[in-house]
Amino acid sequence: MDVVGCAGILVADTICGPMDSLPEEGQLLAIDALPTTAGGCGANVAINLGKQGIASGVAGRLGRDPSAQVVLNELRRAGADTERITYSDTQPTSQTIILLVRGQDRRFIHVFGANKEFAVSHIDRDWVAGLKVLYLGGLFVLPAILMDELADLFAFCRSQGVVTMLDVVIPLHQTGMNDLDKILPHVDYFVPNDDEARLLTGTSDPLAQARTFQACGAGTVIITRGKHGLLALRGDDLWRADAFQVEAVDPSGGGDAFSAGIITGIVRGWDMPQMLTYGGVLGASATLAPGTTTGVFTTAEAETFLQTHRLNISHETVS
């Protein structure tokens, strides 16, 4: 039986790099491999939960093509239930080329594909009612997800005692809340990164960002800040945490791994510092290898890492 539902974007990621620089016009740059793996928020979180021994099911949309098989095979190897994935007869499976240049942030070339068709109606409420947590990732790059319908689904989750977590992906040139305030009153955990939060709120201060989302009704707001750590706000309780320092190879998937760590804490009944620590461990581990899930620790690996690494977390009461 699925404990966690992972809904949202499903993508076949092709990893290009890492390389020292992009080739100039007309040049050919030889690299060792161009692996294609499962990616996208919904797939990444499900695969990472499988590494923690947590049963999950995936709701999303794929094309009927070889790229879909790549995604399905990887999900199934991770133990994820794929029965609630639907298929498009008109759109290909979503794809992303991730360009990795050493010393630079990632570059993405993306095909939206079948994700354009994924709608709230594709998420089975009978399935949802039996979950402990419903995660939805990729809001704002899922154009068929209508805000009123998603708010209604999350309200249903609350009526059934299902914890909700929401993550977003902000497309180029989008700014403002875009009716996010309709959904947040029904969201238990909202987990944007600071760049996404800045585009949504118009402010670069993480606490001001969190307060804005809290004022819209979000239960717990966690703003991830990459190498600068994170900030979490719940009611009047504010936590700040550093980031684990590791030799990052590819930061792709770090946010999704962090979300999987928080969900692990929810399922296991942990307090906030323990959840933030575990989220930080999984998020850091995601950067250790190319790809979005390859480097993510299992529970045993995370426990071993924590024997020699400590995360500094502070707590204060704010009004």
Q: Could you write out the DSSP letters of every residue in 157-209?
A: HHHTT-EEEEEE-PPTT--S-TTGGGTGGG-SEE--BHHHHHHHHS---HHHH
Task: Give residue for tokens 């708010």.
Answer: 151
Q: Could you report the per-residue pLDDT of 16-37, keeping only the tens digit for each?
A: 989 999 999 999 999 999 999 9
Q: Indicate if the pLDDT at residue 151 is higher than 90.
A: yes
Residue 185's pLDDT is what?
98
Q: Identify the CA nearest to 43 among candidates 226, 285, 296.
A: 296
Residue 138's pLDDT is what?
97
Is residue 203 very low, low, confident or very high in pLDDT (cuts 50, 70, 90)?
very high
Residue 172's pLDDT is what?
79
Residue 121's pLDDT is what?
98
Q: Could you report the per-residue pLDDT of 246-294, keeping only the tens digit for each?
A: 988 888 899 999 999 999 999 999 999 999 999 999 999 999 998 899 9
Q: Could you report the per-residue pLDDT of 156-200, keeping only the tens digit for each?
A: 999 999 999 999 999 878 888 889 999 999 999 999 999 999 999
For residues 108-134, average pLDDT: 97
- Our CA angle for 227, 233, 238, nearest 5°, is 85
What's the pTM value of the predicted model, to 2 decimals?
0.95
Residue 290's pLDDT is what?
86
Residue 246's pLDDT is what?
93
Q: Identify the CA nearest to 114 among candidates 53, 40, 165, 178.
A: 40
Structure tokens at 177: 């809340």
Query: Hey, what domains does the chain have and what are their CATH numbers?
Result: 4-9+43-59+120-317 (3.40.1190.20)
Residue 105's pLDDT is what?
85
The CA–CA distances, whole Å, from 283 to 22, 56, 125, 288 equal: 27, 19, 30, 10
